[in-house]
């Protein structure tokens, strides 16, 4: 409750509403067919209010039901590999499901919001009619939190304006914070489009996510890591201001001067739990001269040799790469393959190559032990071109373009992310690895654990998804967000995951392979058990974690959870906003329809 004392709400923006649940708080939400489901006239009133943007949602997959072997269904499954197509379909999500967890299902109706007023109308309609409400932006939730059957969906895809500022001051902050360069983004924008405006066109840097088609609002509310987070910190820590529609239908501004606890909660407290964010302003920074990539794939001749390679790469990371220059991944595979997929900033190509030379030479010195399958490749590009779609299209295999006729030129994605479009997940687990594991003595235990884990399933150290080794001011800024503080001194997030191609239960010929999926999930479980032997109570990252995470509140938010719950209760004590493993979701049934407590 102490946290509530720090609310500051000037007259122009409503401050926190009352904390107690209202007398009319639903214990059960209504579904289509229930007597109190809104009638056609009510839906039509809503439709008029929002300028005709109400959609009766139907999944394109429904067309496959009647003719699963037909040409139209085959064509649809091809289209599903395009994340831009998925993003533009109101009834689809970027992941189609997760075995034994969830399957993507369309809402009953959707408000295709174009303005904040549309969001207000939808929030009020859902609250007054006791509907299950769900919010979708980029649609990339692995946990399935942007779809819910029998719900009303607020779909922000069409709110995607991006405005670059030279000198931004938040509402109520005049004279309290200095003007600074920034970018204001509407809630439905995706990172590729933001990077193109901020970096390619304006020559600045904004900290966002790695995947080009992820939504800005979803990522910021998760915390958000990009390839260069080891230098520029957590994406949410760069948030200067948000506009958000809360459960009471009020439009609130949240920033360092106004609605401060709400602001803190938006930064990493998890999407879909506090309200509908309609607009975000993020700080921008100077660009470094170059961004670059280092890749290499090595196969070890035996298990014993692979264990040696694991030890060497960890030692090399600890001595040489554990600093703000380096991000992305080191992958360990059961077939004794090590894949280096790293990025760098603040160095030129020659400097990066000099850094890596001792490692390359070490590998090359033992050809009987190590077979180099690809690389080593060290490439640098002017930073301003790193997200420039026209430039990237000149290098085959780097990006994939949206292949729909008439698609905007800027619609590209990293080729490496294409495999995730319309995936059906088999398993996904992650854990924050404390930087202390890089010290001399624990390093060998870390090597043993990663080696043992890799006997079951592949796993990747995402070194940009832990802020250990980042500049102190970036670590401090991330400390002023809701994210689990374990992230602040982790050197990496280790992720082990498996997915199958586009599939959907009930569509003959396109069903997920459940038996294989469960086998893979069990293997991932075994792999991550080896990692957890190092430290049983590690944290995780809400957006990239296990659907079945038992101790999710501690894992995602650690000691910040009670404060986050207080924010939730201040703005949504009736639980209008419920998502799987989101703040306050423990009070609701798994489908979000029945209040348990």
Phi, psi of 147 (to 5 degrees): -140, 150
Query: Is there binding between residue 271 and ligand FAD (CB under 6 A)?
Result: yes
From the CB of residue 148, how many other CB atoms can be counted at a distance below 10 Å?
Answer: 26
Q: How far is the CB of 107 from ligand FAD (least distance, A)?
A: 12
For residue 175, with 0-12 CB atoms within 10 Å meaning exposed, 13-18 middle and 19 or more buried, which class applies? exposed
Query: Is there binding between residue 211 and ligand FAD (CB under 6 A)?
Result: yes
Binding range to ligand FAD, per CB under 6 A, among 22-30, 60-68, 217-225, 344-352:
217-225
How many DSSP H helices and E strands does the chain contain? 17, 21
8 A C-beta contact, residue 154 and residue 134: yes
Between 378 and 495, CB nearer to ligand FAD: 495
8 A C-beta contact, residue 325 and residue 345: yes
Phi, psi of 153 (to 5 degrees): -100, 135
Query: Is there binding between residue 219 and ligand FAD (CB under 6 A)?
Result: yes
Query: Is there binding between residue 221 and ligand FAD (CB under 6 A)?
Result: yes
8 A C-beta contact, residue 135 and residue 276: yes
Q: How far is the CB of 239 from ligand FAD (least distance, A)?
A: 13
Binding range to ligand FAD, per CB under 6 A, among 1-9, 40-48, 177-185, 211-219:
211-219
For residues 390-429, one letter each, b for 16 or more C-beta atoms within 10 angstroms of the residue's C-beta and e for the rest, the string is ebbeeeeeebbbbeeeeeeebbbbbeebeebbbbbbbbbb
Query: Is there binding between residue 572 and ligand FAD (CB under 6 A)?
Result: no
Q: How far is the CB of 579 from ligand FAD (least distance, A)?
A: 5
d(CA 39, CA 375) in angstroms, rounded, equals 63
Residues 538 to 567 in contact with ligand FAD, rule: CB under 6 A:
543-544
Q: How far is the CB of 114 from ligand FAD (least distance, A)?
A: 13
Binding range to ligand FAD, per CB under 6 A, among 214-222, 319-327, 368-376, 483-491:
214-222
Q: How far is the CB of 174 from ligand FAD (least distance, A)?
A: 27
From the CB of residue 88, how many other CB atoms can be counted at a distance below 10 Å?
Answer: 15
Provide the token pair at 311. 């030890």
Task: Output the DSSP codes for 69-105.
Answer: TSHHHHHHHHHTT-HHHHHH-TT--SEEEETTTEE--
- CA angle centred on 256, ends 255 and 257, rounded to 5°: 90
Between 132 and 136, CB nearer to ligand FAD: 136
Q: How far is the CB of 138 from ligand FAD (least distance, A)?
A: 2
Compute the Cα dihedral for 430, 432, 436, 439 and give only its sign: positive
Query: Is there binding between residue 187 and ligand FAD (CB under 6 A)?
Result: yes
In terms of DSSP H, where are the helices of 399-493?
440-454, 472-479
Query: Is there binding between residue 215 and ligand FAD (CB under 6 A)?
Result: yes
> Which residues are within 8 A (CB) of 592 and not within 5 positions of it... i.e. 6 or more apart?
29, 132, 148, 151, 578, 579, 585
Q: How far is the CB of 202 from ligand FAD (least distance, A)?
A: 22
Query: Is there binding between residue 103 and ligand FAD (CB under 6 A)?
Result: no
Provide the token pair at 499. 């997915």
Cis peptide before 557 (omega within 30 of 0): no
Residues 409 to 448 in contact with ligand FAD, rule: CB under 6 A:
417, 420
d(CA 279, CA 285) in angstroms, rounded, equals 20
Exactly one of 123, 503, 579, 583 binds ligand FAD (CB under 6 A); which one? 579
Query: Is there binding between residue 214 and ligand FAD (CB under 6 A)?
Result: yes
Exactly one of 141, 196, 336, 540 binds ligand FAD (CB under 6 A); which one? 141
Query: Is there binding between residue 329 and ligand FAD (CB under 6 A)?
Result: no
Q: How far is the CB of 276 from ligand FAD (least distance, A)?
A: 4
Task: Output the DSSP codes for 528-560.
Answer: HHHHHTT-TT---BTTBS-TT-TTHHHHHHGGG
Between 242 and 338, CB nearer to ligand FAD: 242
Compute the residue count for the chain.
597
Query: Is there binding between residue 156 and ligand FAD (CB under 6 A)?
Result: yes
Q: Which of helix, strand or coil describes residue 234?
A: coil
Between strands 162-168 and 180-186, the pairing is antiparallel
Q: How far is the CB of 314 from ligand FAD (least distance, A)?
A: 22
Q: How far is the CB of 374 from ligand FAD (least distance, A)?
A: 23
Exactly one of 60, 209, 249, 324 binds ligand FAD (CB under 6 A); which one? 209
Residues 81 to 100 in contact with ligand FAD, rule: CB under 6 A:
94
Query: Is there binding between residue 276 and ligand FAD (CB under 6 A)?
Result: yes
Q: How far is the CB of 154 from ligand FAD (least distance, A)?
A: 8
Binding range to ligand FAD, per CB under 6 A, among 98-106, 205-213, 341-349, 476-484:
205-213
Query: Is there binding between residue 153 and ligand FAD (CB under 6 A)?
Result: no
Q: How far is the CB of 135 from ligand FAD (least distance, A)?
A: 4
Phi, psi of 132 (to 5 degrees): -80, 125
8 A C-beta contact, residue 440 and residue 319: no
Q: How far is the CB of 493 from ligand FAD (least distance, A)?
A: 9
Q: How far is the CB of 544 from ligand FAD (least distance, A)?
A: 6
Exactly one of 38, 249, 272, 292 binds ligand FAD (CB under 6 A); which one? 272
Between 363 and 579, CB nearer to ligand FAD: 579
Residues 120 to 139 in contact with ligand FAD, rule: CB under 6 A:
135-139
Exactly one of 85, 125, 168, 225 binds ligand FAD (CB under 6 A); which one? 225
**Interacting residue ranges for ligand FAD, rule: CB under 6 A:** 94, 135-142, 145-146, 156, 187, 209-211, 214-215, 217-219, 221-222, 224-225, 271-272, 276-277, 417, 420, 543-544, 579
């Amino acid at each position: 409750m102490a946290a509530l004392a720090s609310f500051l709400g000037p007259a122009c923006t409503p401050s926190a509403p009352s904390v107690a649940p209202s007398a009319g708080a639903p214990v059960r939400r209504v579904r289509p067919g229930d007597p109190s489901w809104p009638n056609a006239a009510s839906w039509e009133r809503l439709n008029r209010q929002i300028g005709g943007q109400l959609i009766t949602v139907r999944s394109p997959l429904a067309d496959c039901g009647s003719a699963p072997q037909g040409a139209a269904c085959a064509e649809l499954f091809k289209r599903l590999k395009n994340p831009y197509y998925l993003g533009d379909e109101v009834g689809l999500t970027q992941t189609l499901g997760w075995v034994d967890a969830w399957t993507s299902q369309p809402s009953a109706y959707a408000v295709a919001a174009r303005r904040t007023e549309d969001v207000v109308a939808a929030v009020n309609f859902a609250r007054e009619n006791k509907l299950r409400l769900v919010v979708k932006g980029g649609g990339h939730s692995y946990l399935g939190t942007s779809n819910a059957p029998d719900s009303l969906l607020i779909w922000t895809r069409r709110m995607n304006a991006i405005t670059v500022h030279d000198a931004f001051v938040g509402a109520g902050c005049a004279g309290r914070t200095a003007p600074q360069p920034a970018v204001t983004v509407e809630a439905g924008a995706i990172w590729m489009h933001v990077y193109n405006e901020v970096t390619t066109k304006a020559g600045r840097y904004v900290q966002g996510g790695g995947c080009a088609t992820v939504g800005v609002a979803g990522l910021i509310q998760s915390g958000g890591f990009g390839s260069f987070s080891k230098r520029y910190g957590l994406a949410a820590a760069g948030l200067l201001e948000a506009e958000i529609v809360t459960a009471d239908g009020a439009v609130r501004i949240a920033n360092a001067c106004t609605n401060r606890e709400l602001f803190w909660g938006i930064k990493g407290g998890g999407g879909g739990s506090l309200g509908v964010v309609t607009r975000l302003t993020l700080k921008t920074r100077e660009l470094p001269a170059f961004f670059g990539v280092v890749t290499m794939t090595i196969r070890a001749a035996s298990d014993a040799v692979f264990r040696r390679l694991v030890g060497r790469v960890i030692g090399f990371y600890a001595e040489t790469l554990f600093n703000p220059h380096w991000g992305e991944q080191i992958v360990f595979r059961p077939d004794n393959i090590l894949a280096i997929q790293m990025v760098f900033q603040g160095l030129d190509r020659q400097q990066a190559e000099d850094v890596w030379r001792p490692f390359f030479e070490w590998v090359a010195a033992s050809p009987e032990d190590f077979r180099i399958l690809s690389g080593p490749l060290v490439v640098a590009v002017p930073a301003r071109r790193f997200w420039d779609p026209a430039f990237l299209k000149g290098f085959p295999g780097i990006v994939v373009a949206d292949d729909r006729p008439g698609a905007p030129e800027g619609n590209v994605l990293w080729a490496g992310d294409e495999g995730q479009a319309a995936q059906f997940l088999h398993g996904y687990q992650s854990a924050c690895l404390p930087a202390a594991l890089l010290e001399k003595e624990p390093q060998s235990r870390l090597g043993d654990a990663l080696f043992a884990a890799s006997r079951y399933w592949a796993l990747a150290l995402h070194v940009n998804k832990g802020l250990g080794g980042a500049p102190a001011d970036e670590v401090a800024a991330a400390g002023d967000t809701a994210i689990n503080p374990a992230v602040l001194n982790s050197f990496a997030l280790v992720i082990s995951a498996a997915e199958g191609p586009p599939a959907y239960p009930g569509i003959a010929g396109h069903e997920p392979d459940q038996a294989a999926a469960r086998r893979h999930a069990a293997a991932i479980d075994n792999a991550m058990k080896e990692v957890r032997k190092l430290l049983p109570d590690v944290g995780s990252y809400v957006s990239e974690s296990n659907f079945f995470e038992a101790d999710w509140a501690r894992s995602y938010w650690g000691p910040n959870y009670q404060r986050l719950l207080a924010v939730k209760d201040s703005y949504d004590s009736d639980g209008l906003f419920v998502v799987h493993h989101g703040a306050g979701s423990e009070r609701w049934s798994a489908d979000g329809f029945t209040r348990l407590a």
